[in-house]
Amino acid sequence: METDPEAEREASRLKGIAETKFKNSNLKSALKHAKKAQRLAPSLEGLSSMVTAFKILRVASKSKEWYQILQVEPFSHINTIKKQYKKLALILHPDKNPHSGSEEAFKLVGEAFRVLSDKVRRKEYDMRLRIKIQDEKVALDDNDDGFAGKETFWTACSRCRLLHQFERKYLDQILVCPGCKMSFEAVEAKESNVVRVFRSGRLSEKMGSADLKTKMGNVGLKRKTVSGDTKMKGSAGSGVDGESGDSRKEMGGGRGDWGGGRLRRRTSSVGEVLARSKPKLVEDREESMTLAEMQLEAKRRANQAKLKFKLKEKEMEKRGKKEKKREKEIERHRALKNKDLEVEGQQAAERIVDLENENGVLAKKIVDLRTKKRRTVKKTEDLQIVRQETLKKSVDLVIERHKTSKTKDLEIMAVEDSDFYDFDRDRMERSFKKGQVWAIYDDDDGMPRHYGLIDEVSVNPFEVKISWLDLQSNGDEGLICWEKQGFHVSCGRFKVSRKTSIDSLNIFSHIVECERAAREVYRIFPTKGSVWALYNEAALGIEGSNLSARDRRSYDIVVLLTTYSEMHGLSMAYLEKVDGFKAVFKRREIGCHAIRWLEKDDVRLFSHQIPARKLTGDEIPDSLKDCWELDPASLPSDLLTIGWGS
């Protein structure tokens, strides 16, 4: 159903007026305007929650009736209260409803739920509420008496002994008791002949009339007001309707209840009878007392007053002693607590001094470590600069040789042909792609120990732009000493450095398997199945210590059985040359004893990777099965001699 635009505008105006009235603390007027706006446009945003909030605040402004604040019936079940609380909390939550009065109403709803969800607090509140409702109904009955202007009489049931009031027209009739529902004869109990005595909250009555004693069977009477229509029965059994014969009202079902106004009024009449009878008895007793008895009575009363005064003084004295003792205990505890706090403060101050001393020592150590680190970094940077300059000179020399003399170039790069596989097919112009890492021959002995990252490729004419990859030593003294001795490290983390352009294929060996560790950092380590040249440890030992680095480059050829792991290192097996072939190698030994483990710190022993292919196929002789053919361009010249072997 679409809302009339004019009605919606009027509702918005009334909503604004309601907010203004609320801000001016005129809650009644604010609620009035909000209700008018809701009648005009019930679907207006925030209006329903505003009316709900104003209603709750209106109820709270009069008196904090928690049931009315939660908008449930008095004495409702706890499940009903929980359900209503969740509903109101969802409507009035300040995060979902920022309109006027929502926050205050939300707090009131929360407080009401806390009271009514607590069993003890709710029990006390319900008791006060019942008393209040009862008092209101008593006051209402006082203002509107059911027997106003009618003649009544009092009678008592001979069975349950309850006292009832009826209209006089039902006197001496057979009536039904509203309490026990039994028949009894309505005989008038005259108040002038009645002496009422209260025992344990029950009203016992002794009738003064002899006829009443006979008819009621000398039973004590209790007084009670009853309600509802009472059926009357005559002596012949005919029913008579008691239209207003009973004055008792059901709680919540009328204006009166069991504690109605008539009971209070009639109880006061019983008090008046007792009040009238008591002074007469006291006067008769005082008149019959002699002067001596009166003096004794006055003395007794004076002694009682003195005794009460002494007891009160003793009680006050005991209370004062207890208060003084309590104050002394408090002072003693306070002094002990202050003493403990002082000791703890001294200990804390000592700990602070110790910590400051420790911090000073640590700060000095940190300064020393930073100084040492700066020196190491400086050494590393100097070494990197020297290495880059050496590499640059080496590469420039190779390129210059290629440009100046083709014949000389062929002489430098001339290698033996392989026995089976043509490794030059893997380094043609079409093999180069951007992002690849290639191994580049070293100008020192022609082994592929350097690495370059391909940035751009041009096929016709062939030209590639590369970025050299330099080793990251990270201050490792072992690696720095290794390079100072003239040995190149081919495994580790390499960082992109300077760029250059190359137009010759002959300086490239093979594509390198690597892992990109960061934006310009690459990890290059041996992988399973690859073949590498390993520096011979005997040549590196004491026997070869007097040789130059170049003369000490004696190699062992190994195949990797596992990929390198920074935790466990790697495993490998040695290869040996097959007799009668230039570059065909086989396992030197087979079995567990032929496997060697290399720790992670010993990967510096690897000189360079050698491109290799495992021999398979029908054209391969059976004797060469499970053998490897290695690229002759990556093998030392002393290993290319036919007939070398074990």
Give the C-alpha separation, 375 to 369, whole Å: 10
Does the domain at 8-136 match CATH 1.10.287.110? Answer given as yes
At residue 265, the pLDDT reads 37
Confidence band for 511, pLDDT divided at 50, 70 and 90: very high
Q: Poorest-confidence range of 203-217, 324-338, 369-383, 390-404? A: 203-217
pLDDT digits (tens, 9 = 90+) for 617-628: 776 787 777 898
Whether the Cβ atoms of residue 582 and residue 559 lie closer than 8 Å to each other:
no
Q: What is the mean pLDDT of residues 1-9?
A: 73
Q: Poorest-confidence range of 189-193, 340-344, 348-352, 479-483? A: 189-193
Radius of gyration of the chain measured on its C-alpha atoms: 57
pLDDT digits (tens, 9 = 90+) for 46-65: 788 888 888 888 888 887 88
Q: What is the mean pLDDT of residues 22-50?
A: 83
DSSP symbol at 554: -
Q: What is the mean pLDDT of residues 190-209?
A: 38
> Which of the pair, 277 or 491, is modelled with greater confidence?
491
Q: Poorest-confidence range of 142-146, 352-356, 409-413, 487-491? A: 409-413
Q: First-to-last CA distance in the chain?
A: 101
> Which of the pair, 282 or 161, is modelled with greater confidence?
161
At residue 311, the pLDDT reads 92
Which sequence spans correspond to the domains of the chain? 8-136, 152-190, 423-540+551-639
DSSP letters of 117-147? HSHHHHHHHHHHHHHHHHHHHHHHHHHS-TT
CA-angle at 218, arms to 216 and 220, nearest 5°: 95
Is pLDDT at 10 greater than 50 in this prediction? yes
> Which of the pair, 485 or 114, is modelled with greater confidence?
114
**Which of the given ranges, 124-133, 196-205, 440-449, 518-527, has the highest pLDDT on average?**
518-527
Whether the Cβ atoms of residue 494 and residue 522 lie closer than 8 Å to each other:
yes
- Report CA-CA distances (Å) from 190 to 206, 448, 562: 11, 135, 121
pLDDT digits (tens, 9 = 90+) for 256-289: 333 333 333 333 344 444 444 445 444 445 555 6
Q: Can you point out the beta strands (E) in 213-344? A: 222-223, 230-233, 239-242
Is pLDDT at 538 greater than 70 in this prediction? no
Give the C-alpha separation, 444 to 439, whole Å: 15
Supply the pTM of this predicted model. Answer: 0.39
Question: What stretch of H or E contains 109?
Answer: helix 102-117
Share of the chain above pLDDT 70, in %: 74
How many other CB atoms are found less than 10 A from the CB of residue 196? Answer: 19
- For residue 511, the Cα-to-chain-centroid distance in whole angstroms is 53
Give the closest residue to 606 by CA, choosing from 427, 482, 470.
482
